Amino acid sequence: MIKPHGSDKLNPLYVQDTATRKALLKEAQGLPSIVISSAAAGNAVMLGCGYFNPLTGFMNVADSISVAENMKTKKGLFWPVPILNVVNDASKIKGAKQIALKDPNVEGNPIIAIQTVEAIEEFTDAQMKLMTNKIFRTEDPQHPGVAAFNSVGRFCISGPIQVLSFSYFETEFPETFRTAYQIRDEIQKNGWNKVVAFQTRNPMHRAHEELCRMAKEDLKADGILIHMLLGQLKKGDIPADVRDACIRKMVEVYFPPKTVMITGYGFDMLYAGPREAVLHAVFRQNCGCTHLIVGRDHAGVGSYYGGFDAQTIFENEVPKGSLELQIYNADHTAWSKKLNKVIMMRDAPDHTKEDWVMLSGTKVREMLFNGESLPEEFSRPEVAKILMKFYQEEGGK
C-alpha cells in the first residue's frame, strides 16, 4: 500500500485506548480551557484521524508563514496550508503549559483535545494579509474562505495535541465518517492496490458518476473512494445528510458491488481552490489512495480561480517527489446529445453549446423547488427524487 505522507507509518493523534482516553478527559476537566473555532475543531479531528500525518499538532507563526509562502514547514516538510488553532482572546490560558480545547460545534462545548502549549503568538496585519493572499489568492472579504479565515482571531496557539473526540461527526454520520486509518484498513481488506479518490461537497450527478467510472477504467484501478466533506459549508450548499443519501443511492443502483467505498471526513470547507486541492491530495495519500481526481474548479467558489488552476498547481508549484499520490486531471464532464453519453468536454471539439445537457446550479434548485423532474441525462431519477424531497420540504435552506 502507498505510504502515508511524510512517514513510513500513519500517526493518528486520537487516543484510541478507552481507559487512557477517559483518564485524559478527567484530567482535562482541571486544565485551563478555551472554546476553539470551528476551523480549529475540524483541524483537530483531521489530526486525530491521521489525515494530517505527519503533523503532531497546531503550527506556530514561523511554520504558518513558511507554509503559506513556500508550501513547506521550517524543517522542510511539504504542506500546502497552515494548520492552526487561532483565537480572538488567549488571556484565559496565559502561562498555561497544557490546555483543554473545547468544541464549538457540540452543545455544552465538550472537550475535543488536550494541547501542550509551546507558544502563544500574535499574527501581525501583514502576516494575515500574506497568508490570506497565498492560501486563497484573494483578499476579497466576500470570499467565504477569506471571511472565515480572518474572523477567528490573531492569537496563534501552537503545540502538539491529543485528540479525545471526533466532535459530532461520529454520532451524526456513523455510516459515513471514517478515519484515515479505518480507510487504509478497509482498502487492505479489499485487496485493492490502486485506488482513485473522488472529493465532493455536492450531491453526485451523472457527470460526477461517469467521471469516477472513467478514472477507474483509465487507471485500471481496483476501487473508488468517494470521500465527502461533512463539516461546515457556505450558505446554500446541500447539507451532508442529503448528499450522503444521494451518493449511497447512486452507488447502490449504478455501480457493481464492492467497487466503491462511500466515506466522509470531518473538516470545514476552505474554498481555497488550488491550495485546497493540494491539501486534498495530501490527506488522500494518508488514507491509502494512489490517485485523486482533480476536475474543473476543484474546491473553488465563484469566479476566484481559473477553471484548471487546481490542476496546474501540481504541475507548476508542487515540487517533484513531494507526494507519492498522482493526480488524474479531468475536464468538465456533461451529457453529449450527439453521442448520447457523458464525456469530457475536451474530447468533443466539434460540439457547440446546444450539443450539451447543461444546467446551472440556480436552474437545478429552481426546478427541484418547483417539483420539476431533472433531465435523466443530468441526474439519475433516484438522486433527483431525494433532492426534490429536500428542496420541497426544507425550501433548500
Using H for helix, E for strand and C for coil, what is the string for 207-230?
HHHHHHHHHHHHHCCCEEEEEEEC
Torsion of Cα atoms, 300 then 301 then 307 then 309, to 10°: -40
Residues of the chain with CATH 3.10.400.10: 18-167
CA dist., res. 241 & res. 256, Å (int): 23
With respect to CATH, is domain 18-167 assigned 3.10.400.10? Answer: yes
Catalytic residue among 11, 70, 109, 202: 202
- CA atoms 264, 269, 273, 279: torsion sign: negative
In DSSP terms, which residues pair with 196 in a beta bridge? Answer: 224, 291
Confidence (pLDDT) at 186: 98
Answer for the pair 9, 53: CB distance below 8 angstroms, yes or no: no
Confidence (pLDDT) at 360: 76
Q: Count of CB atoms within 10 A of residue 54's CB?
A: 16
* Residues of the chain scoring pLDDT < 50: 397
Q: Give me the amino acid identity at 344.
A: M
Answer for the pair 264, 287: CB distance below 8 angstroms, yes or no: no
In DSSP terms, which residues pair with 99 in a beta bridge? Answer: 115
Residues of the chain with CATH 3.40.50.620: 175-265+273-394
DSSP 264-308: EE-------THHHHHHHHHHHHHTT-SEEEE-TTTT--TTSS-TT
Closest CA to 53 of 1, 20, 5: 5
Report how far Cα 70 is from the mean position of its chain's Cα atoms: 21
CA dist., res. 366 & res. 357, Å (int): 16
Catalytic residue among 21, 154, 201, 213: 201
* Residue 197 CB burial class (10 angstroms; 0-12, 13-18, ≥19): buried
DSSP class of residue 345 equals G
Residue 370 is among the residues annotated as catalytic for this protein: no
CA dist., res. 93 & res. 33, Å (int): 7
CA dist., res. 41 & res. 164, Å (int): 11
In DSSP terms, which residues pair with 226 in a beta bridge? Answer: 198, 262
Closest CA to 362 of 236, 231, 232, 244: 236
Confidence (pLDDT) at 363: 87
Residue with cell 494548520: 83
Confidence (pLDDT) at 395: 62
May I ask the CATH class of domain 175-265+273-394?
Answer: alpha beta
Confidence (pLDDT) at 249: 96
Residue 201 is among the residues annotated as catalytic for this protein: yes
Confidence (pLDDT) at 236: 75
Residue 283: CA count within 13 A, CB half-sphere: 31
End-to-end CA separation in angstroms for the chain:
42
